[in-house]
């Protein structure tokens, strides 16, 4: 069900990107892509890994009868991340309004809107983490990543009627802000309605030292993962033309359909893995091995289907965006192929992080970032979007192989789809 919800989110995102590409100039489309990439990194910092902390500690405390600690971690997670988001957003706004950051075109106004977007974006991430911890990952995906793009498409349609294309970047971001606020209200209402009675009625208890230690480790993983996913767009924004950035942004959006397979299966796996951590520590790995391999194979099968679909139908799909975006086909196929190779290695980074060894994920992601950034700087000036696709695929594969090897060595678990005996 969660995989289906993930693909529903990817499908609505496709429609959203088609509407954006059809109603914006390539330059404005590129500006939105770069601003959203920076917003993703800011959100990763501001949320202080609260979603992972909620996934880690809410089900663990509930299953062990510690409802007070479960309630406490929910309160601390939401309170702290809201404060961080407001602080970071205020700093960004002051930097733009005070002239500390000088930006071209109408990007200053877009950055101010992105600063306002930070709080609802972070709270939506927290709610998704809470719902995942309560084994409602599919509902979280539906609310955050399916209905929000639907609202945005409706908003852009209304904007098209009122303003007529081409739409400026700041108007599109205002639609994004409005849709995020609406979905924040909807997600909050649903989360409050399904909270376990014992959690609601419990007196909150706190284990700040443990939570902060875990949050710091998780945040390092989350920030590294976010930078790994966005470094290509950010570097292209610096060294490539807006037209090339726009082409590559479309390829990335399509290729992320492959990512959703792994993340969907991983989201389902996470609470079940947390419940079996004691088995892992005591050396009872058989059930965990079955769970992890099943997760890896599910991600691989869906990834292969997506790759074949892109390879065969990519030219047709890309025509929907407009003639300018047909050049996204090569980087799209390269990125999708890279994600299939990553799926072969399984959810190693997630397993290591949730099992108390986030340094494994950080090391793997940093290795991937270095490869990604170095190859982007080398290839983009001559190959443009195609070079960015090669660089990013290489970085992803490097990170997945390092994470798989180190997780296998440390936990004696093979996260891949293969049956390689760990020593």
Average of per-residue pLDDT across 132-147 = 81
pTM here is 0.73
CA distances from 221 to 227, 237, 302, 382 (A): 10, 24, 25, 32
Q: For residue 96, what are the contacts with CB-CB under 8 A and spacing of at least 6?
A: 103, 108, 111, 112, 115
Q: Which two tokens stand for residue 400?
A: 């997945």
Q: Which stretch of 8-12, 81-85, 167-171, 325-329 has the lowest confidence by average pLDDT?
A: 8-12
Domain ranges of the chain: 1-206, 224-423
Average of per-residue pLDDT across 311-316 = 87
Q: What phi and psi, each to the nearest 5 degrees, are found at residue 10?
A: -65, -40
Q: Which stretch of 8-17, 29-38, 155-164 has the lowest confidence by average pLDDT?
A: 8-17
Average of per-residue pLDDT across 109-132 = 92
* C-beta separation of 272 from 291 below 8 A: yes
Q: Which residue shows structure tokens 């050049």?
A: 327
pLDDT tens by residue, 268-303: 676 677 777 777 766 777 778 888 888 888 888 888
Q: What's the pLDDT score for residue 5?
A: 58
Higher pLDDT, 162 or 186: 186
Q: What's the pLDDT score for residue 309?
A: 86
Q: What's the pLDDT score for residue 261?
A: 55
Q: For residue 78, what are the contacts with CB-CB under 8 A and spacing of at least 6?
A: 50, 123, 126
Q: Compute the 3-state secondary structure of the chain and give helix, strand, coil in percent, each to the nearest 5.
A: 85, 0, 15
Average of per-residue pLDDT across 174-194 = 93
Q: Which residue shows structure tokens 């924004």?
A: 237
356: left (phi over 0), alpha (psi -120 to 50) or beta: left
Q: Which stretch of 116-120, 267-271, 333-337, 398-402 has the lowest confidence by average pLDDT?
A: 267-271
Q: What's the pLDDT score for residue 423?
A: 47
Work out the percent of the chain whose per-residue pLDDT is above 90.
Answer: 31
**Is the model's pLDDT at 245 over the cut of 80?**
yes
Which H or E element spans position 297? helix 286-319
């Amino acid at each position: 069900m969660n995989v289906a919800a993930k693909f529903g989110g990817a499908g609505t995102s496709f429609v959203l990107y088609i509407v954006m590409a059809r109603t914006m100039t390539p330059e404005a489309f590129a500006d939105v892509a770069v601003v959203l990439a920076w917003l993703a990194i800011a959100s990763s910092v501001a949320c202080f890994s609260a979603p992972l902390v909620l996934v880690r500690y809410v089900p663990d405390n509930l299953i062990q009868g510690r409802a007070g600690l479960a309630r406490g971690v929910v309160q601390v997670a939401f309170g702290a991340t809201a404060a961080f988001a407001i602080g970071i957003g205020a700093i960004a706004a002051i930097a733009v309004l005070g002239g500390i950051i000088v930006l071209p075109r109408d990007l200053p106004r877009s950055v101010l809107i992105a600063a306002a977007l930070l709080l609802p974006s972070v709270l939506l991430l927290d709610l998704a983490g809470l719902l995942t911890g309560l084994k409602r990952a599919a509902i979280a995906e539906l609310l955050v990543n399916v209905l929000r793009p639907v609202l945005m498409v409706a908003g852009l349609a209304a904007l098209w009627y009122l303003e007529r294309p081409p739409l400026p970047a700041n108007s599109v971001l205002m639609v994004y802000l409005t849709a995020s606020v609406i979905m924040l209200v909807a997600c909050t209402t649903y989360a409050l309605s399904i909270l376990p009675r014992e959690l609601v009625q419990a007196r909150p208890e706190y284990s700040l030292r443990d939570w902060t230690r875990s949050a710091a480790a998780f945040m390092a993983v989350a920030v590294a993962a976010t930078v790994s996913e966005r470094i290509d767009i950010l570097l292209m924004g610096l060294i490539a033309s807006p037209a090339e950035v726009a082409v590559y942004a479309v390829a990335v959006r399509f290729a992320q359909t492959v990512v959703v397979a792994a993340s969907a299966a991983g989201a389902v796996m996470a609470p079940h893995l947390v419940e079996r951590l004691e088995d892992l520590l005591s050396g009872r790995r058989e059930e965990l091995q079955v769970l992890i391999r099943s997760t890896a194979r599910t991600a691989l099968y869906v990834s292969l289907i997506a790759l074949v679909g892109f390879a065969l139908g990519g030219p047709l799909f890309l025509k929907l965006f407009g003639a300018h975006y047909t050049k996204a086909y090569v980087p799209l196929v390269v990125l999708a192929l890279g994600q299939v190779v990553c799926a072969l290695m399984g959810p190693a980074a997630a397993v290591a992080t949730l099992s108390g060894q986030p340094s494994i994920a950080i090391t793997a992601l940093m290795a991937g970032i270095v490869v990604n950034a170095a190859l982007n700087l080398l290839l983009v000036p001559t190959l443009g979007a195609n070079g960015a696709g090669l660089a990013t695929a290489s970085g992803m594969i490097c990170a997945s192989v390092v994470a798989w090897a180190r997780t296998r060595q440390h936990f004696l678990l093979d996260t891949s789809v293969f049956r390689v005996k760990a020593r």
